[in-house]
């Protein structure tokens, strides 16, 4: 395929450098709002829905979308936007199931949920899988950034007599240094506000490029006439070609991809956890899915459509053999003028950086919460006070961000073999997403799902997924929907369906046979040789799993049976599980209990007013704010209820705000008494009014 170098002018580079400096300064500025790990990872749980919506836009749309969907738009037309039409299937499950559970249970990471819902072993396995997923996602982001920037660079730089060739990996390393700078010091608050800026930029630039491109080819009618008929179809063909078809897109991008993005992407979850409450998170999700995503589909795909129209009109300008991953950059350089091209490329890099910075921050959160804190607890490390603890954890978070950035760069090596970012990302989703997606979904929506079920889903599902990859004609072909098998990458799409089915199948099998497992374990415990029997079973399952993973056996087909039958017995024998305790407040059927646990008492559901108040400092060390009796009555609040205080200026989006609890009332109407910690954390300005509203 034809590739490019030296696209763009010095003016474009000046524009991009100014943009990068602006973003870094912008992010670093908001780093001053990071006081502790809650701010670093979750932004203090303070922001309004509109701010989070724009942050989600920049994160979700920007991950790989410009390059990925422009490539598919160039190859297949309007059907490239299909993925954006799939998300609405699953958003209700997220809004009314997973989101309130993750917020009200006060978990800081997905693996922590697995410990509360199941046991520490489930948390350990979830941590491993999630870290692999997140670091791989960072690698995909860096790969996309590299592919976007390299066409703009010369083939080599000549510095002080030394010739340095421009390679994809070298470009990625430089990008990683720039991206990691502000995330390391800014945290979640910096990410959210840089994403706000970048979200507006990428939407504006995307539509601007489309308008300029249509004008370039002679207007809307000319653009439409230049596209082949098959490029005008909104949906891909059902099962052909093997590289891009309806059923494959659905299973890979919609189910494995979209459900994975909604339910197990720690970066996205941290966005919603940064909302001031669950209802604000639901608003952000609804607005995003109903209004923003349809617009985003046009933003990310139109360069590919324009590229096809131009290649039909003038194949000498854009060759039909142009590398699909470069089509966005090529089209933008052709239809725009110097400076404008630099702005458009700044938008592209903005979108990509917004996702990478989110993922780095989220992965650091997982490491600190699920690796660092358990290790500190294990070694019985003590701190003099909570401030010292927060300082140590914040330092660990920043060091972790650096390490994860480096790991993300190394993970790029696993994806460079794929012809396009789309193929790399699809393979990544279909391989790493299914076990965790299935485990989360079944844990949230099925009360009977037990530790034996979830751990066997992780281990047994992985075993069957490995076998499917090694023997696709045997395992995956029954699910192929008539799609021809590409011998180079067998069933690259349908692999996602197969992996989802086997993980669900393992979970259901283990759960529905739990009575048989319990009977066997009861018998073992009542025999004299019970412990030796379980040691033998544990050893057999461990050997079978290890041999299969490392591919050092010729009897692979027998080992899934051993793992799937033995792992539930091991978990049941060595573990203790109280279903009522483990599921209370942690499934969709007990959200009311989760809400009560979040507050620590029965929620106050009475409707009250939002009121405007002035604040006054008082010298008290308890974490409560004090209102007048009349103000309490207006808010329909009682002592012990939860309250949200924020700066009256709505354009701040909740940046200056705190959550607290109502204390004993006073008689000074229109005034709230706060302490020094409230002032410092809320960053309230003297003389500025606050808005108070009861939460529950």
Residue 69: per-residue pLDDT: 83
Residue 27: per-residue pLDDT: 64
Start-to-end Cα distance in the chain: 60
Residue 262: per-residue pLDDT: 78
Structure tokens at 355: 């996702």
Q: Is the peptide bond before 241 cis (omega within 30 degrees of 0)?
A: yes
Cβ atoms of residues 363 and 10 within 8 Å = no
Radius of gyration in angstroms for the set of CA atoms belonging to the chain, rounded to a whole number: 27
Q: Which positions of the chain have pLDDT values less than 50?
A: 41-43
For the entire predicted model, the pTM comes to 0.84
Residue recorded with tokens 């409707």: 607
Structure tokens at 641: 């209820």
How far apart, in Å, are the Cα atoms of 474 and each of 210, 233, 256?
46, 34, 22
Question: What is the DSSP-derived secondary structure letter of residue 626?
Answer: B
Percent of the chain with pLDDT over 90: 12
Residue recorded with tokens 């890979």: 252
CB atoms within 10 A of CB 566: 23
Residue 66: per-residue pLDDT: 77
Structure tokens at 77: 């037309």
Residue 490: per-residue pLDDT: 75
Task: Please name the helix (run of DSSP H) or strand (run of DSSP E) that holds residue 504, with its range, or none.
Answer: helix 494-512
Cβ atoms of residues 40 and 397 within 8 Å = yes
Residue 212: per-residue pLDDT: 92
Structure tokens at 177: 């240094």
E-strand ranges in 205-282 read none
Closest listed residue to residue 327, CA positions, set 247, 213, 220, 429: 213
In whole angstroms, give the CA distance from residue 307 to residue 27: 34
| CA 390 remoteness from chain centre | 25
């Amino acid at each position: 395929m034809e590739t490019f170098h030296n696209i763009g002018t010095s003016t474009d580079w000046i524009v991009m450098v100014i943009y990068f400096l602006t973003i870094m300064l912008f992010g670093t500025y908001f780093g001053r709002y990071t006081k502790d790990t809650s701010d670093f990872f979750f932004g203090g749980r303070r922001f309004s829905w509109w701010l989070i919506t724009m942050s989600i836009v920049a994160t979700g749309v920007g991950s790989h979308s410009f390059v990925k969907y422009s490539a598919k738009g160039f190859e297949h037309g309007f059907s490239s936007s299909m993925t954006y039409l799939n998300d609405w299937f699953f958003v209700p499950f997220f809004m009314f199931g997973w989101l309130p559970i993750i917020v009200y249970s006060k978990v800081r990471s997905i693996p922590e949920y697995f410990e509360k819902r199941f046991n520490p072993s489930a948390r350990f396995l979830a941590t491993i899988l999630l870290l692999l997923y997140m670091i791989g996602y960072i690698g995909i982001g860096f790969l996309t950034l590299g592919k976007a920037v390299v066409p703009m660079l010369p083939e080599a730089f000549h510095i002080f007599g030394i010739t340095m060739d421009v390679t994809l990996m070298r470009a990625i390393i430089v990008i990683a240094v720039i991206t990691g700078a502000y995330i390391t010091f800014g945290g979640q608050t910096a990410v959210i506000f840089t994403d706000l800026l970048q979200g507006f930029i990428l939407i504006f630039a995307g539509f601007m490029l489309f308008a300029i491109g249509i004008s370039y080819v002679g207007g809307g009618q000319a653009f439409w006439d230049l596209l082949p008929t098959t490029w005008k179809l909104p949906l891909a063909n059902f099962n052909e070609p093997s590289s891009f078809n309806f059923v494959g897109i659905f299973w890979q991008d919609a189910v494995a991809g979209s459900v994975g993005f909604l339910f197990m992407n720690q970066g996205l979850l941290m966005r919603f956890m940064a909302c001031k409450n669950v209802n604000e998170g639901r608003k952000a999700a609804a607005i995003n899915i109903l209004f923003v995503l349809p617009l985003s589909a046009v933003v990310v795909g139109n360069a590919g459509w324009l590229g096809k129209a131009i290649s039909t009109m003038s194949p000498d300008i854009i060759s039909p053999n142009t590398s699909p991953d470069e089509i966005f950059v090529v089209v933008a350089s052709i239809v725009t003028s110097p400076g404008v091209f630099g702005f458009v490329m700044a938008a592209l890099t903005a979108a990509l950086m917004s996702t990478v910075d989110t993922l780095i921050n989220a992965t650091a959160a997982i490491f600190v919460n699920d690796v660092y804190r358990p290790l500190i607890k294990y070694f019985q490390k003590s701190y003099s006070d909570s401030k010292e603890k927060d300082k140590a954890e914040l330092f660990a978070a920043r060091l972790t961000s650096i390490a994860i950035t480096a790991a993300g760069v190394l993970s790029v090596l696993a994806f460079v073999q794929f012809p396009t970012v789309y193929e790399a990302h699809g393979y990544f989703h279909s391989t790493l997403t299914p076990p965790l997606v299935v485990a989360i979904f079944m844990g949230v929506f099925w009360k009977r799902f037990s530790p034996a079920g979830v751990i066997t889903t992780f281990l047994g599902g992985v075993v069957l997924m490995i076998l499917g990859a090694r023997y696709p004609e045997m395992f995956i072909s029954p699910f192929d929907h008539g799609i021809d098998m590409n011998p180079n990458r067998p069933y690259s799409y349908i692999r996602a369906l197969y992996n989802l089915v086997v993980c669900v199948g393992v979970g259901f099998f283990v759960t529905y046979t739990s009575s048989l497992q319990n009977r066997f374990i009861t018998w073992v415990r009542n025999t004299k040789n019970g412990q030796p029997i379980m040691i033998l079973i544990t050893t057999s399952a461990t050997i079978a799993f290890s041999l299969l993973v490392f591919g050092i056996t010729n009897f692979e087909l027998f080992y899934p049976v051993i793992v799937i039958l033995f792992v539930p017995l091991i978990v049941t024998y060595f573990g203790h599980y109280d279903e009522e305790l483990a599921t209370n407040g942690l499934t969709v059927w007990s959200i009311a209990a989760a809400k009560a646990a979040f507050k620590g008492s029965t929620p106050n559901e009475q409707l009250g007013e939002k009121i405007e108040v002035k604040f006054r400092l008082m010298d008290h060390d308890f974490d409560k704010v004090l209102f007048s009796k009349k103000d309490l009555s207006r808010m329909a609040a009682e002592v012990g209820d939860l309250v949200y205080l924020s700066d009256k200026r709505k354009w701040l989006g909740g940046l200056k705000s705190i959550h607290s609890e109502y204390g004993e009332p006073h008689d000074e109407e229109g005034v709230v008494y706060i302490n020094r910690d409230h002032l410092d954390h809320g960053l309230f300005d003297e003389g500025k009014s606050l808005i108070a509203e009861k939460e529950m």
